[in-house]
A and B are shown apart, each in its own frame.
Chain A
């Protein structure tokens, strides 16, 4: 059974259609890149996958069950998202932010116990954010905040991790660290990853499959080699690119012709 299944989903904001008849199925433990030009519906689709938004028609099935029927806390134990940014109006410690990822596991009056703190320690170590655990979230740099938000999502111990351009603020070292962490989690813990990005080479090198959206419709889904062709990119992005195999691992390498 596919872990994520979208069936003919349509969505509009006011009268403007954002998604039209989008269908696809994703298997567990895959790393999937979602690409497409601005306004192609990527973020909206991501919100449907974690049930903060519901389609006007059609269905999103997570583990075979319609997102409309998932209880809120149960879906938070299954799907986590790393947002692009998080408002920091009130001062919280970085560690407190990560602890919030344990909310779906706690009963309403309970405090976090040893196990929760151990998980938080672990995910903060993995995202290299322990060194600022006791600093205020709003005083951190954009890249540090991003790592804290990644840690929070991992603290949810999800089966599906959604990333909305979560690598843009990371420096090279932390990008590499994060991407290898994702591969490790998908291999060892069968984590399914769906990431939105504008970096086609990042998608080519790291994704098992690529979902290409265009004007709210699914343009194509397949392996990086199938999707990243000069013809597809010309039609969807309206730019000319050259494509050759990456000398490092043979994945398609996209070069913008200017």
Chain B
């Protein structure tokens, strides 16, 4: 178990090193490793190469990793709580609610307060989460899978419309481009925000991991979990609040990046099974690697132009989603 996660961590590091070297200025992985070794031993020269590596690409890769891990872990938890492998922050509209909250924050000038915008993004996510759970039937019987997904579609298009509306009535320099919110974009990565997001991820992950055994019981049904000794209501609220926080931090800094929270958990379940004590760290590490790869593709595919990373995740995620749905219908 520890070995599996060590391997996934190694994968993340390797992909990170390769990704560091890719871009307008190409540096071979060996060169990247040498530059990192130099920087650590204090021999670092202030060459243009190193500037690009450490001030431009490295923060962005770390940022991609943190956002990918946050979204994947949130996906695992939402799927467990709704007992639906197609649930994730994007499909359920939680990312959209979060983005709308962030935009309302910017429009109202909350940006001048420390953490003002992420806080409103968090509120947006939380409201959406509870709406979804009320629609899904709360603690009594679960709504049919398809209606839950349909509700997500409707909520999503409502939020997209509201976001576009907000963007067209306000012409603020503070608002990022439309594509940032609608398709996700990691190009705005700054070290300070990355550090904040990392802190949220680590604390949130710690709380979630402590509940991993309970999650295993929760996916057996709430009544079963209860009779096996889980305090279902308290656990559910704690998990929803933490995942909403992780989602909203990711969204307020990177916009809406879709499907990561479905694809990564599903692949990890396929390989490692459903024990959340293994699944949560595996999804975090693989989610980080996944988004680093997606973002690197977004940077280099149309170089020197850049794609929003959400385009890449949606291009592979949407077909994957349909594949999963068909499998569910047949199976």
Contacts and interface: CB of A to CB of B under 8 A. Distances in A.
Given A91-B269, A156-B228, A100 B274 contact: no
A50 B216 contact: no
A87 B213 contact: no
Interface in A61-86: 72-73, 75-77, 79-81, 83, 86
Contact of B227 (A81, A87, A96): A81
A50 B230 CA distance: 13
A77 B229 contact: yes
B226 A103 contact: no
B229 A96 contact: no
A104 interface: yes
B278 to A, nearest CB: 11
B226 A96 contact: no
Given A90-B274, A92-B275, A72 B226 contact: yes
Given A87-B220, A90-B269, A92-B274, A109 B227 contact: no
Interface in B276-309: 277
Contact of B221 (A75, A87, A92, A103): A87
B188 interface: no
Nearest to A108: B210
Nearest to A77: B229
Interface in A148-190: 156
Given A91-B274, A100-B217, A106-B213, A52 B229 contact: no
- The bracket for how many chain A residues form the interface is 20 to 34
Contacts of B273: 91-93, 96
B319 to A, nearest CB: 22
Contacts of B223: 47, 52, 83
Contacts of A76: 227-229
Interface string A89-113: 1111100110011011010110100
A103 B277 CA distance: 14
Given A103-B213, A106-B213, A90 B227 contact: no
B84 interface: yes
Contacts of B228: 76, 100-101, 103-104, 156
Contact of A103 (B85, B229, B274): B229
Given A72-B226, A89-B83, A91-B269, A100 B216 contact: yes
Interface residues of B, number: 27
A80 B227 contact: yes
A93 B278 CA distance: 14
B312 to A, nearest CB: 27
Interface in B49-94: 79-80, 83-85
Interface string B246-285: 0000000000000000000000010001110100000000
A109 B211 CA distance: 8
B293 to A, nearest CB: 26
Most central of A96, A103, A104 by chain B CB within 10 Å: A103
B219 to A, nearest CB: 5
Contacts of B230: 72, 103
Contacts of A51: 227
A152 to B, nearest CB: 8
Given A77-B229, A87-B83, A103-B229, A96 B216 contact: yes
Contacts of B274: 90-92, 96
Contacts of B80: 90
B147 interface: no
17 contacts: A72-B229, A76-B229, A80-B227, A81-B227, A86-B220, A89-B219, A91-B274, A92-B274, A92-B275, A97-B220, A100-B220, A103-B228, A104-B228, A106-B213, A108-B210, A108-B211, A156-B228
Q: Which 7 A-B pairs have the closest CB atoms?
A: A76-B229, A104-B229, A73-B229, A90-B274, A52-B226, A103-B228, A72-B231
Interface of A: 47, 50-52, 72-73, 75-77, 79-81, 83, 86-87, 89-93, 96-97, 100-101, 103-104, 106, 108-109, 111, 156
